[in-house]
Amino acid sequence: MSSNGMKWVWVVVCLGLVGCAPQKTEPQKATGSKASATKRADSTASKAASQATSPATSQEQKAPSSATPPPPTQAQATQTPPAVEPTEEPKRPDVIFVPTPQEVVDKMLELAQVTKDDVVYDLGCGDGRIVVTAAKKFGCRAFGFDVDPQRIQESKENVEKNGVGNLVTIEQKDIFTLDLSKANVVTLYLLPSLNVKLIPQLEKLKPGCRIVSHDFDMRGVTPDKVVTVDGDGGYGHTVYLWTTPLKKEAETK
């Protein structure tokens, strides 16, 4: 073989060797690292997205619901609310308190001929001097009524001071609502119009009961007696006596 032929053979052999040489490939380790990096990046992005959306979700959960509340059930709709009773204002006194002089008190009880067996009702008892005197002087039961809390307090103090709590009872009541049927004697120091207002109650008293009034009469009813008591300064006090059944005057036409 010529030298030129040998050269071509050598070239062919070399080219064959080159074609058979193994190709370089990326090692599996490098590929695995790249995949792990990709997974970590995806995980970080997912966590960041979760944190970004979490406050909004929490805020939505905490925010008060603006939805319309559901309609009441049939049982709730048929429930009747408890009734509220109106509060009544306390009744005010019909007259200004002016105490009856003691000498007039004595004359009123004398004119009514009070005994220890009687029950005395004082309508508008003031400081309680009439019922206290009746209990101390005659030993009878006596009841004092008034709407003024201050007068009630004064009456109770007077009763305690005189030691007649076993005989005298003081009550805060409207005298125009009282049942007077247990009384034998009724004492008054009211205005004429108020005496007249009491007539329907006084007519229910048992026969023989006595009614005495300081200074004021009872229009339309004839008194059994009228006496005058001299007071301090020469002022005279009038005391009226009626007995039941009341003697009504004939109405003028």
For the cut 60, the answer to whether the pLDDT of residue 38 exceeds it is no
> What is the rounded average pLDDT of the residues 184-189?
97
pTM exceeds 0.75:
no
Instruction: Report d(CA 152, CA 171) in Å as an integer.
Output: 7
Return the structure tokens found at 110: 């004398």
Q: So what's the pLDDT on residue 253?
A: 44
Domains of the chain: 102-243 (3.40.50.150)
For residues 46 and 40, what is the distance between their CA atoms, to the nearest angstrom? 10
What does the pLDDT read at residue 95? 72
> How confident is residue 151, by pLDDT bands cut at 50, 70 and 90?
very high
Report the relative pairing of strands 185-188 and 141-146 from DSSP bridges.
unpaired
Contact 217, 192 (CB under 8 A): yes
Among candidate residues 223, 220, 225, the one with its CA nearest the CA of residue 248: 220
Confidence check: pLDDT of 17 > 60: no
Enumerate residues 6+ apart whose C-beta is below 8 A from 11: none
